[in-house]
Amino acid sequence: MAMVCLQAISMRPAPLCVKWVGGLVNTMGLKSIDYLLTDSIETPEGVDNQYTEKLIRLPDDYICYMPCSYAPSTTSLPALKNRYITLGCLNNAAKISAQLLSEWAILMHQLPQSRLLLRGAQYESEDFCRRIWNEMAKQGIEKSVFCWKVQRNTKNSWKPISALILH
């Protein structure tokens, strides 16, 4: 949530403020937010005291996923055919820190044949990619495990990734 939004919410813009899905990692920590709609998976019983909001647990998981109409159909697990697992991060590449890369390296050492798929506009920059390679090399991860995809904001931007992962 942008700082401007947090400032606005902290001024209690309504008599009753309720937060639900979106940008939720834990409590917002704002006394101006009265309730948090959640479920027993995201906030199990016994964690209420860690929230400034009063928790309202919906009876079933409240986060539903419906694939878009142009999503490729799924097939068998690609790792069965490939004999390796492809880990992926399709998130904003600016969020990739040295600490995160270190955690990924630990995971990749536990899955020695794994590959890492990274997708984002930042991967057009050789300098950006080099920073990631260098950090992972310090952790003993070779350059050959990386697969880069430059993000294009179209519905077809999923096709190369789907082909890589699913076929």
Q: What is the pLDDT of residues 83-112, one digit of tens each?
A: 888 888 877 888 888 998 999 999 999 988
Q: Indicate whether 63 belongs to any domain.
A: no
Q: Residue 137 has what pLDDT?
A: 94
Q: Indicate whether 136 belongs to any domain.
A: yes
Q: Residue 28 has what pLDDT?
A: 86
- Model's pTM, two decimal places? 0.56
Under 8 Å between Cβ of 41 and 61: yes
Q: Residue 62 has what pLDDT?
A: 66
Q: Indicate whether 67 belongs to any domain.
A: no
Q: Residue 159 has what pLDDT?
A: 52
Q: Indicate whether 52 belongs to any domain.
A: yes
Alpha-carbon distance of 34 to 113, in angstroms, equals 48
Domain limits for position 47: 11-58
Q: Residue 51 has what pLDDT?
A: 94
Give yes or no: residues 89 and 135 share one domain: yes
Give yes or no: residues 83 and 161 share one domain: yes
Q: Residue 52 has what pLDDT?
A: 93
Q: Residue 163 has what pLDDT?
A: 45
Give yes or no: residues 159 and 114 share one domain: yes
Give yes or no: residues 159 and 120 share one domain: yes
Q: Residue 165 has what pLDDT?
A: 44
Q: Residue 162 has what pLDDT?
A: 47
Q: Residue 154 has what pLDDT?
A: 58
Q: Indicate whether 101 belongs to any domain.
A: yes
Backbone angles phi, psi at 42, to 5 degrees: -75, -40
Q: Indicate whether 141 belongs to any domain.
A: yes
Establish how many alpha carbons lie within 13 A of residue 128's alpha carbon, considering only the half-sphere containing its beta carbon. 15
Q: Residue 164 has what pLDDT?
A: 46
Q: Residue 61 has what pLDDT?
A: 73
- Strands lying side by side in the sheet with 146-149: 86-89, 115-119, 146-149
Q: With residue 82 as reference, give the H or E element that holds it.
A: helix 78-82
Which residues of the chain register pLDDT less than 50? 1, 160, 162-167
78: three-class secondary structure by DSSP: helix
Handedness of CA 75, 80, 82, 84 (dihedral sign): positive
Q: Indicate whether 92 belongs to any domain.
A: yes
**Domain count within the chain:** 2
